Structure formats: C-alpha cells, structure tokens
Amino acid sequence: METHFDVIVIGGSFAGLSAAMQLARARRRVLVLDGGRPRNRFAPHSHGFFGQDGKTPADIIRDARSQLLAYPTARVAITEALTAEREAGRFVVTCADGTSSSADRLILATGMRDDLPALPGLEARWGHSVLHCPYCHGYEVADKQLGVLATHPLSFHQAMLVPDWGPTTWFTQGIVEPTADETALLEARHVRIEASRVVEVLGNAPEMTGVRLADGRVVGIDALFVAPRTHQASPLAQQLGCALKDGALGSFLVVDDGKQTSVPGVFAAGDAATEWANATFASAAGVTAGVAAHRSLIFGL
C-alpha cells in the first residue's frame, strides 16, 4: 500500500539528512530514501566540516540518521528511488525494493557521480592519494610532493591553489596551454609545469609514489589532485523535468534562493544543485531546502 508523506527526501547523505531534520522538527511527516552510495564513500575521513572534522563520512551519516530518527514523524528507508512523477497534485516515488510512496513535496539530494580520467592506477587511489579538493584533504598531505592533473581549462586555478599545501607540479595533459601571464603567476608560486602527459600512476595502492609520463620519465608524486567530470547520480531530476545548467565539469540543477527547482514543489540541495561541492555547503543547502519546503506547505508555491 502506498504511504503518503508531507515531504520525501531522496538521498540520505549530508544534504538530505539536514533537510529532513528541519521538517522533522516542524513535526511534518518526512521520508528519507537512501540508496547507500554517497559520493564521499571513497574518502577515509571528512575534513573541514565544523564539529565533524576527522570523522569518517559513514560515521557522520550514521550519527545524523540516528538523531533524525529520534523524531517520531521521520522515517528512513535504505533503498534506491527508481522513478518519480507527479500524479493528481502529488509526487509518487517508486523504489528498488518494490515500495511506492507519495508526498506533497520532494527534495532531491541525489548527488553527483565522478568520472575519473581513464588513467591506469587512478581509480584505485581515489579518495586516498588521488584527491579532488585541497580544502578537504590538503592538510593531510601537506609538505609532500603534490601534483595537479588537468582535466579541463580551469585546472589552472587548482594549480595556483595547491602550492599552499606543498611543492606542486601541474600536469597539463595536452588539455591546457597556459598563457604567458598564467605561466608567470605559476612560476611566482613555484609551480613546475609539465607538458608530457601522465600515462600511469605508480606505487602500492591506495598510496602512490609517482607518475609515469608519456616520454618514459617518472616524476615523484605523493598525492595527485584531480577535478573529475561529473554527472547527475540519479535520473529522477530529468524524469521530473527539472532544468539543468552546464558547469565547467558537468551539469547541475538550477534552483532559486529557497532551493526550489524549475518544477514547482521539487527542491534540490547538495552536490546535485551546485558547482561548489563541499560537505558544509551540502548541509547548509539541505537546511535551506528543508525550511523552504516546509514554508511552501504552509504558504503555497
């Protein structure tokens, strides 16, 4: 039998649980559907998240879920949401476990999927010695030999940032040709520019000792920063007809100041709805979405 809720939150990581908490505290019936594959599951620890620094992502989620379920109007189901559609003024969501639920509002906290460059040894080290964000992981590799692997033209900005954590080599991969002004800025930051492509990551995974270049040379590198291409982790936003915007690395959901998408009644928070992926940003966006969804139940759309 289909169960009806005030709000269904799809995605049970930092953004989704933060959204659900606001609704549970407003004594609204809220269901969180969690497929159990958060984007940060590859990282051994989460850093830079106020009050949670150094904890594993799994521990943060477990504790937050336990706190949410202390509220009697909150439910969490560990299952993947497969379809979402609007029927007779409400949203109906069907799940991989065969269940179906409906709600007056939806919050999509479905996250993004990272597509790493097809480079031998990269995927096995993702989240450990192959990293995406110096603010999240730079402190833990400080003063080691660091690399930045270009995946898009804006890689220059990452190459400029990383030297604050250690000596840096920028591997342009034939993707970026720095201008004279950019080269001067990088040299002032003591960044070594390497034009020969990286063809292999070396060392005993998940650690690394260096990278092999196309010309046969080996460069000693202890950690490599990579900005992967991204894709929506779930097809639900497209099913519902939510508008997307192209970003430097992938498309993200368009939302207003209250995190409402282009589809009335559908809100979105977290990595799926921003170019600025970060645990704290995701949680804050979830709070905004939860409050806005609650207000829309009272004041209308």
Residues 110 and 234 in one domain: yes
Last residue of a domain, one of 192, 226, 260: 226
Can you tell me the mean pLDDT for 233-242?
Answer: 96
Distance between CA atoms of residues 300 and 294, nearest Å: 10
Do residues 125 and 266 share a domain? Answer: no
Of the pLDDT bands very low, low, confident and very high (cuts 50, 70, 90), residue 62 is very high
CA 129/CA 226 separation, integer angstroms:
10
The total number of structural domains that make up the chain: 2
User: Helical H runs in 55-197?
Assistant: 57-68, 134-137, 155-161, 180-188
Alpha helices, DSSP H, located in the chain: 14-25, 57-68, 134-137, 155-161, 180-188, 236-240, 279-299
pLDDT at 70 over 70: yes
Please identify, among 184, 209, 226, the residue that sits at the C-terminal boundary of a domain: 226
Q: Do residue 110 and residue 7 come from a single domain?
A: yes
> Which pLDDT belongs to residue 48?
77
Confidence of residue 1 (pLDDT cuts 50, 70, 90): low
pLDDT of residue 43: 79
Q: Which residue has the higher pLDDT, 39 or 175?
A: 175
4-21 pLDDT per residue, tens: 999 999 999 999 999 999
- Give me the pLDDT at residue 249, please: 87
Q: The whole model's pTM is what?
A: 0.93
**Which pLDDT value is given to residue 146?**
98
In this structure, are 99 and 175 located in the same domain?
A: no
- Same-domain pairing of 110 and 233: yes
Asked which of 33-37, 108-112, 163-167, 183-187 is least confident by mean pLDDT, the reply is 33-37
Do 74 and 132 lie in one domain? The reply is no
Indicate if 123 and 220 belong to the same structural domain: yes
Name the nearest CA neighbour of 176 among 191, 197, 155, 161. 155
Mean predicted confidence (pLDDT) in 109-136: 94
Please indicate, yes or no, whether residues 203 and 162 belong to a single structural domain of this protein: yes
Q: Supply the CATH number for residue 219's domain.
A: 3.50.50.60
Mean pLDDT computed over 62-83: 97
Give the confidence band of 153 by pLDDT, cuts at 50, 70, 90. Answer: confident
Same domain, 128 and 217: yes
Among the candidates 226, 244, 272, a domain finishes at: 226
pLDDT higher than 70, residue 144: yes
pLDDT in tens, 156-201: 999 999 999 999 999 999 999 999 999 999 999 999 999 999 999 9
How is residue 80 written in tokens?
């993947």
- CA-wise closest residue to 31 among 4, 54, 1: 4
Structural domain boundaries, residue 155: 117-226
pLDDT at 88: 87
pLDDT averaged over the chain? 94
Query: What average pLDDT score do residues 257-263 get?
Result: 98
**pLDDT band (50, 70, 90) for residue 55:** confident
Residue 161's SS3 state is helix
Q: Are residues 30 and 108 in the same domain?
A: yes
Residue 137 pLDDT > 80: yes
**195 and 290 part of one domain:** no
pLDDT in tens, 205-227: 999 999 999 999 999 999 999 99
Same domain, 7 and 107: yes
pLDDT of residue 278: 87
Residues 271-290: tens digit of each pLDDT = 999 988 888 999 999 999 99
